[in-house]
Amino acid sequence: MQAFKSIFCVLFFLCILCFSCKTEKKETSKETLPGIEKVKTTTENLAHAKKFSIEKSNDITIITVFSPWPDAEKDFKYALLPREKAASITLDRNAYDAIVLTPIERVVVTSTTHIPTLEMLGVEHTLVGFPQTNYISSEKTRALIDAGKVKDIGQNEQINIELLIDLQPELVIGFSINNSNPTYETIQKANIPVVYNGDWTEGTPLGRAEWIHFFAPFFQKEAKAKEVFKDIADNYLEAKKLATKATTKPTVLAGAMFKDIWYLPAGESFQAQYLIDANAAYIWADSKGTGSLSLSAESVLDKAADADIWIGPGRFKTYEDMKEANRLYAEFAPFKNKKIYTTANTIGKTGGTMYYELAPTRPDIVLKDIIKAIHPEILPNYQPFFFKPLL
């Protein structure tokens, strides 16, 4: 898969939660949820993410996801209640897609991109299940898998529901490419809370990374999320500013072919934003769209044969691999001049590509890697992590 194609690698599952609270025998005062007012710091805390919001009233948190997938027809609203106060709060269950008690102590997530977020918040120990655990590369979470603390619950969209129920998760964090997934309905019938994560629909790198604020309230880790994201954003913006000092602006080609169609980032995509922030002259920067462009190989060669740099040539690890796949690749100047940079050579213990797992939460590293490739003089001592020279 293309290094810039992670936005399309989204499959997995979601459902709606039914929540029930025990009613104490002794008389207790019931507090009806008051009108929700937007958190005063919403603008500050969500400076980049556009696809969800966080609202608070007293101890109750409301998270609204506006776009769990492109062109979603409805918003999804989740109510988070502190576990120790849930019995004293009455909610209209029909007003929410899920009601969740916090902090979560047992969770199932469904994408490798969720793993780094759990680790950044220091709650990876709450993970009890994951579909196809062999795709997880993080050493910390792999140690939990090896110790039998994280169970493999089957394949995407074919979750082992019986095993999932046995794990007794208090929450499933999923995502979907559309509103049709029978697995969600099955999980719903088991009364397991499921919420959509839509970070992949964000239009900017920092917007995607800021979804750490979506995860944090479920674990009551809001302060930690604020600290972590501030460091990431500061590092990203510092690198972006540093890139402006470059005295040249190399032309950049991206993507690769799949079944004779060349896929590369559209000019309004978050992948293109990386190249713009790295002070590169991305050849398709003026194109419209937030996804990918599907072009003929001949049209790409006609427009980008003399490009200076090639970023993200898909799955390829070596120049020989590329040439064997299609001799047309060898016609491009970056191929001839050995100026191609790939994420395919940074893999985890079980063979997973680290870029797909970690990059969405660490855009600062991605940007520095790209700056190093395009303007090596700007970061002379920096060692790239994701994007490394093709072998």
| Segment 84-141, tens digit of pLDDT | 988 888 888 889 999 999 999 999 999 999 999 999 999 999 999 999 999 999 999 9
pLDDT, tens digit, 9 for 90 and up, residues 338-391: 999 999 999 999 999 999 999 999 999 999 999 999 999 999 999 999 999 999
* Residue 325 and residue 209 share a domain: no
Phi, psi of 35, deg, nearest 5: -60, 135
Rounded to an integer, what distance in angstroms lies between the CA atom of residue 80 and that of residue 374? 45
Which residues are CB-contacts of 260 (< 8 A; sequence separation ≥ 6)?
296, 297
Q: Are 222 and 349 in contact (CB under 8 A)?
A: no
CATH number at residue 361: 3.40.50.1980
Rounded to an integer, what distance in angstroms lies between the CA atom of residue 208 and that of residue 270? 9
Q: What SS3 state is found at 296?
A: strand
* Residue 265 and residue 379 share a domain: yes
Question: By mean pLDDT, which of 17-26, 145-154, 235-244 is the weakest?
Answer: 17-26
- pLDDT value at position 265? 96
Q: What SS3 state is found at 316?
A: coil
Which residues are CB-contacts of 257 (< 8 A; sequence separation ≥ 6)?
263, 297, 314, 325, 326, 328
- pLDDT value at position 178? 78
Parent domain of 274: 243-389
Rounded to an integer, what distance in angstroms lies between the CA atom of residue 207 and that of residue 199? 8
Q: Is the pLDDT of residue 3 over 90?
A: no
Rounded to an integer, what distance in angstroms lies between the CA atom of residue 301 and that of residue 334? 12
- pLDDT value at position 37? 44
Which residues are CB-contacts of 345 (< 8 A; sequence separation ≥ 6)?
317, 388, 390, 391
State which H helix or E strand residue 297 sits in.
helix 297-304
Half-sphere exposure in the Cβ direction for 257 (13 Å, CA): 17
Question: Could you tell me where the DSSP H helices lie in the chain?
Answer: 42-45, 114-120, 139-146, 161-167, 182-189, 205-209, 212-215, 222-243, 270-277, 297-304, 319-325, 333-336, 354-358, 363-374
* Residue 226 and residue 250 share a domain: no
Q: Is the pLDDT of residue 185 over 90?
A: no
* Residue 207 and residue 247 share a domain: no
Whether the model clears a pTM of 0.95, i.e. scores above it, the answer is no
CA distances for 274 relative to 237, 363, 366, angstroms: 11, 8, 8
- pLDDT value at position 182? 77
Task: Identify the domain boundary among 188, 203, 233.
Answer: 233
- Tokens representing 17? 């939660």
pLDDT, tens digit, 9 for 90 and up, residues 320-341: 999 999 999 999 999 999 999 9
CA distances for 81 relative to 61, 104, 190, 293, angstroms: 7, 11, 20, 43
pLDDT, tens digit, 9 for 90 and up, residues 41-57: 333 469 999 999 999 98
Q: Is residue 190 part of a domain?
A: yes
Q: Is the pLDDT of residue 175 over 60?
A: yes
Q: What SS3 state is found at 251?
A: strand
Which residues are CB-contacts of 134 (< 8 A; sequence separation ≥ 6)?
152, 350, 351, 352
* Residue 192 and residue 48 share a domain: yes
CA-wise closest residue to 91 among 101, 82, 83, 99: 99
- pLDDT value at position 198? 93
Q: Please tell me the total count of domains within the chain.
A: 2
Q: Is the pLDDT of residue 2 over 50?
A: no
Q: Is residue 171 part of a domain?
A: yes
pLDDT band at residue 67 under the 50/70/90 scheme: confident
pLDDT, tens digit, 9 for 90 and up, residues 216-271: 999 999 999 999 999 999 999 999 999 999 999 999 999 999 999 999 999 999 99
Q: Is residue 187 part of a domain?
A: yes
Task: Identify the domain boundary among 213, 233, 253.
Answer: 233
Q: What percent of the chain has pLDDT over 70?
A: 88
Q: Is residue 1 part of a domain?
A: no
- pLDDT value at position 14? 29
DSSP per residue over 176-243, as a string? -SSS--HHHHHHHHTT--EEE--GGG-SSHHHHHTTHHHHGGGGT-HHHHHHHHHHHHHHHHHHHHHH
Q: Is it true that the peptide bond before 217 is cis, omega within 30 degrees of 0?
A: no
* Residue 251 and residue 371 share a domain: yes
- pLDDT value at position 45? 64
For residue 165, the one-letter residue type is: I
Rounded to an integer, what distance in angstroms lies between the CA atom of residue 70 and that of residue 92? 28
Start-to-end C-alpha separation, the chain: 18
The average pLDDT across 182-208 equals: 89
Rounded to an integer, what distance in angstroms lies between the CA atom of residue 373 and that of residue 376? 6
Rounded to an integer, what distance in angstroms lies between the CA atom of residue 335 and that of residue 338? 5
Task: Identify the domain boundary among 181, 210, 233.
Answer: 233
Rounded to an integer, what distance in angstroms lies between the CA atom of residue 383 and that of residue 270? 23
* Residue 338 and residue 300 share a domain: yes
Burial class (CB in 10 A: 0-12, 13-18, 19+), 29: exposed
Pairing of strands 127-130, 107-109: parallel
Rounded to an integer, what distance in angstroms lies between the CA atom of residue 30 and that of residue 75? 28
